[in-house]
């Protein structure tokens, strides 16, 4: 087959990466307003990659509740969870398939050791989830204690609260960078994590999709609402910025290919994703 014929044979498919809290989940951690378009995504076989600061333990439950069979990006890109045989040709999507875990960067224990050393040396007023009981995490997040315990089951990042001045916070961030870590603001928490983010994890997965399906040209959609989503939205073909509860939108550097939701949370997510799918109902160009 020559190049021209091969180009004709290429088909285009959406590939959706989405944040959870404040985006596909509302303040009560529900996604009811997005159920109609989630069903359509599933019926059309469009990969939907949940991409969150949440732990793998939390995301497994949400993946099951949403009846999703696609990979996960957990803890802001610190790791991937890949269903067994997912990228094998003609594999049937299976929400019950075992997940293979891949980690990027240092382990949770190593991150905690670095934080302990920095606090002992500089008395930085940062309290991570590992410093709190499940009850304290529940109070901060609005989760019940069982869900809060899942939020404490970390693999490669540490969320927490900053209890000091902005000047000292900048000193803390500088020390983290010298230690090979970074601090990312996401919602109510400061996330301490490796030098990888959602955008890099998304790039890794897009590469795997492309290698597994060379006859497909993927149009990547990324949806989010907070600074830890910004690079992911910058990288995508189409960026969906979800309105925040205060009626603002996260600023982006890019101007083209950006959609801002009129409504916050999953209702806004439903509006924007539905609009994109309606503009290209067959998923092809």
pLDDT value, residue 88: 83
The residue ranking higher by pLDDT, 189 or 242, is 242
> SS3 for 226?
coil
The 10 Å Cβ neighbour count of residue 150 is 18
Give the pairing of strands 238-243 and 258-264. Answer: parallel
Dihedral sign (CA 167, 185, 191, 114): negative
How far is 269 from 258, CA to CA, in rounded Å?
13
- The pLDDT tens digits for 145-160 are 999 999 999 999 999 9
Assess whether pLDDT exceeds 50 at residue 281: no
For 128-168, the DSSP string reads EGGGS-HHHHHHHH---HHHHHHHT--SS-EEEEE-S-HHH
Assess whether pLDDT exceeds 90 at residue 118: yes
Same CATH topology for 11-104+197-279 and 108-194: the answer is: no
Apex CA 79: angle with CA 70 and CA 260, to 5°? 65
Apex CA 26: angle with CA 20 and CA 29, to 5°? 75
How far is 206 from 212, CA to CA, in rounded Å?
10
Going from N- to C-terminal start, the domains of the chain cover 11-104+197-279, 108-194
Percent of the chain with pLDDT over 70: 94
Are 108 and 192 a contacting pair, CB within 8 Å? no
Active-site annotation holder among 19, 26, 33, 229: 19
The residue ranking higher by pLDDT, 6 or 151, is 151
- The pLDDT tens digits for 262-271 are 999 999 999 9
Least confident of 6-15, 83-92, 127-136, 138-147: 6-15
Short-list 78, 133, 80, CA closest to 106: 78
Give 108-194's CATH code, choosing from 3.40.630.10, 3.30.980.20, 3.20.20.140, 3.40.120.10. Answer: 3.30.980.20
> SS3 for 4?
helix
pTM: 0.86
Give 11-104+197-279's CATH code, choosing from 3.40.640.10, 3.90.1150.10, 3.40.50.1000, 3.40.462.20. Answer: 3.40.50.1000
pLDDT value, residue 243: 97
Task: Return the structure tokens found at 72.
Answer: 């996960």
Assess whether pLDDT exceeds 70 at residue 8: no
State in Å, rounded, how far the first CA of the chain is from the last one. 21
To which H or E segment does residue 261 belong? strand 258-264
- The pLDDT tens digits for 68-111 are 999 999 999 999 999 998 998 766 777 788 999 998 889 999 99
Are 118 and 124 a contacting pair, CB within 8 Å? yes
Assess whether pLDDT exceeds 70 at residue 245: yes
Per-residue confidence at 285, pLDDT binned at 50, 70, 90? Answer: very low
Assess whether pLDDT exceeds 60 at residue 237: yes
Q: Tokens 């830890």 map to which residue?
A: 228
- The pLDDT tens digits for 33-82 are 999 999 999 999 999 999 998 999 999 999 999 999 999 999 999 999 99
pLDDT value, residue 258: 96
Assess whether pLDDT exceeds 90 at residue 136: yes
The per-residue pLDDT of the chain, averaged, comes to 91
pLDDT value, residue 280: 65
Short-list 278, 277, 281, CA closest to 16: 277
> SS3 for 249?
coil
Task: Check residue 228 and give left, alpha or beta (phi > 0: left; psi -120 to 50: alpha).
Answer: alpha
C-alpha 89 chain-centroid distance: 26
Assess whether pLDDT exceeds 50 at residue 252: yes
The residue ranking higher by pLDDT, 278 or 112, is 112
19 an active-site residue?
A: yes
């Amino acid at each position: 087959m020559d190049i021209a014929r091969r180009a004709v044979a290429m088909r285009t498919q959406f590939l959706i990466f989405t944040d959870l809290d404040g985006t596909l989940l509302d303040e009560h951690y529900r996604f009811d307003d997005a159920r109609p378009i989630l069903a359509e995504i599933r019926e059309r076989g469009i990969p939907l990659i949940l991409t969150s600061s949440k732990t793998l333990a939390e995301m497994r439950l949400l993946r099951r509740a949403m009846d999703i069979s696609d990979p996960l990006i957990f803890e802001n890109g610190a790791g991937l969870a890949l269903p067994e045989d997912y990228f094998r040709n003609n594999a049937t999507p299976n929400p019950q398939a075992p997940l293979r875990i891949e980690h990027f960067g240092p382990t949770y224990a190593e991150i905690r050791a670095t934080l302990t050393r920095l606090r002992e040396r500089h008395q930085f007023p940062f309290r991570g989830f590992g410093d709190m009981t499940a009850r304290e995490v529940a109070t901060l997040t609005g989760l019940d204690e069982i869900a809060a315990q899942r939020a404490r089951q970390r693999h490669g990042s540490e969320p927490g609260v900053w209890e000091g001045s902005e000047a000292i916070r900048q000193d803390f961030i500088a020390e983290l960078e010298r230690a090979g870590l970074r601090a990312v603001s996401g919602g109510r928490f400061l996330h301490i994590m490796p030098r990888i983010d959602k955008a890099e994890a998304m790039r890794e997965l897009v590469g795997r999709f492309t290698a597994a399906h060379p006859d497909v040209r993927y149009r990547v959609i990324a949806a989010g609402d907070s600074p830890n989503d910004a690079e992911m939205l910058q990288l995508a073909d189409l960026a969906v910025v979800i309105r925040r509860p205060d009626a603002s939108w996260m600023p982006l550097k890019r101007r083209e290919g950006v959609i801002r939701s009129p409504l916050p949370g999953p209702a806004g997510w439903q509006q924007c994703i539905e609009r994109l799918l309606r503009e290209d109902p067959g998923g092809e160009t």
